[in-house]
Structure 1
Amino acid sequence: MQNELVVLDHETRQVAIAAMHEHRSKFSPFRGYDEKIFPDTELVPVRECHAVIARIEADKVPAGDNLRTRETVDLVIGSFPFTKESAERLEDPDKYLAALTFIFAKYPVQFHQRVVEEIITSCEFRPIPAEVNKMFERHLARWTMAQVIAKRHLKEHERRQAEQARKATIEAESAGRAEFIQRMGEKFGSEALKMAQAAQGRTGSRVKPFSAQAEEEADLKRFQQDRQRLDRQAEQLKARAAE
């Protein structure tokens, strides 16, 4: 089954090429899947991550069995001297040619030159088809690893944005809490102020770790409960003052 053709616009391709060059240390296959991303890790920008993912996806399309592929396979076969010994080693040259053509056809054309160079520079004899297939798989793995890393950076971008939004909510609630205490004191006097400050001490006196999400959410819930209780007390004070 052939991959669906993905058309990549020129601008996106150029952004991807520039990103993979500028951030080559991050996209390096030698860093691997086990590289950890910490809260202070510098991330590849979102737009560039999307461009890298799109470029790699577009370039995964198989070359297909065409004239260009057959010429590449002919180059591989012709790179080895034809002798009586090599001819005897090839029991069926036509089947060997068909096997190599099949392998080259199922991989993206951008890997053809790399594999040809590897064959010519490292093989003393014509490689068997399985060996050629392994060469392609190694190059493809290095290429797709960059896509995996880009996706991991995107996921970390999303996590950091969610964390910032959560912190902003906590800070807004804290600011509202301080304003509420001040308003209680101004409207209902020292008794209400003392009650509000006591509630503030129960919910806001501890120093919370940056990453303690569960603790912060629990504090926020306690604050909301205290605020509801103070609202009820304020209504009682107001009713008492009206008597």
Structure 2
Amino acid sequence: MSHDSSFDGVRRDWVRLGEQDPLWAVYVAADKRGGRWDPTQFLETGRADVAASVRWLAELGTGPRWGRVLDFGCGAGRLSQALAEHADEVVGVDVSPPMLDVARRLDTSDRCTFVLNESQDLGQFPDSSFDLVYSELVLQHLPASVIDGYLAEFVRVLRPDGVALLQCTTRPLWTFKGMVWRLAPGWLIRLAQRVFLRYPAPMRMTRYAPSRLRSAVEAAGGSVLAARALNDRATHWRSTRSVIKGS
């Protein structure tokens, strides 16, 4: 996979976010900045999200239990422990060592392993090594070209009957903040986040069309099993959650 310098910028930003305000950076809430997330409540949001996803996957005829799960972009482990309730083993990967340190500290299961992955691929994992790949509130922060590559990697590491559940942002909503995302250049938004909102580091958002996702998955030999669109009023973005099958 070709090198993308903007990926290095994202990695540096999330190292800084992990150092200064990890739980808030993983699950942004206006009243939780500055270390105000209670860890128990933080992890409970993950359990609620995973429970809803498990119900959807069960409707599609997969799950509700898996052998080995990859939590891609695990951050502080918000979803990892919840996924462990439905799996024999969960491997959480992230680009940020401070985030992984927090994930290990908060982990109360005996089925989670947290692994640093600073590359634009999943080369440390062999083909057909996971039954489920799960990623939420992660791909939206990556450059589109990097998302393309990771989608191919998800297909590669899935076992023949495995699936991946992924969330990508598609376009800003027609709200005031959504209009800012639509009209302002990325560099100006990142500057405003640092200077006016005083974020420890900027949080980039990427428009990634469902048609592009389908093309990337099919080019890698996979297929899109199902998709759902949703409007996230907290982020002011429209997202698509997709379930893909491996090759």
Q: RCO greater where, 1 or 2, for CA within 8 Å and sep 6 or more?
A: 1
Structure (1 or 2) with the greater helix fraction: 1
Q: Which has the larger radius of gyration?
A: 1
- TM-score, normalised by the number of residues in structure 1: 0.20
- TM-score, normalised by the number of residues in structure 2: 0.20
